[in-house]
Amino acid sequence: MRSRGSGTSSMSRRLQADDLGKVLLAPVAPSREGDACLSHDVHRSNDDPGLWVVYENWRSSGDLDGHFALPHMQAFVARIPDLVEGELDLRSFTRLSGAV
């Protein structure tokens, strides 16, 4: 079975990079609790502290959809527009390489 991933990159509003980081990190632990979450990681650019990437890897598309329907994710989604400039770059991926 090929897992489904979700990648998001965002640029924080000026002077709100650390606030965005806290919001991005908040759903990591709850997401990792279930068996369906294969990974959920937050990355910050070494060159630009306002640039963030979140990568999540889920067992299936249905699991990813269910994840975004959870209350903690709805709260997360509601906070993002106040902290980022422009639109989120949200994309879905299919992992082709096996787990390491």
Domain ranges of the chain: 4-89
Under DSSP, the state recorded for 47 is S
Under DSSP, the state recorded for 97 is S
Residue 67's CB: how many other CB atoms inside 10 A? 20
Q: Report CA dihedral (30, 11, 84, 69) to the nearest 10 degrees.
A: -30
Fold of 4-89: Alpha-Beta Plaits (3.30.70)
pLDDT tens digits, residue range 28-61? 999 999 899 999 999 999 998 888 889 898 888 8
Question: pLDDT class for 3, splitting at 50, 70, 90?
Answer: low
- The candidate with the shortest Cα–Cα distance to 4, out of 43, 50, 45, 61, is 61
Q: CA 44 to CA 51: how far, in whole Å? A: 6
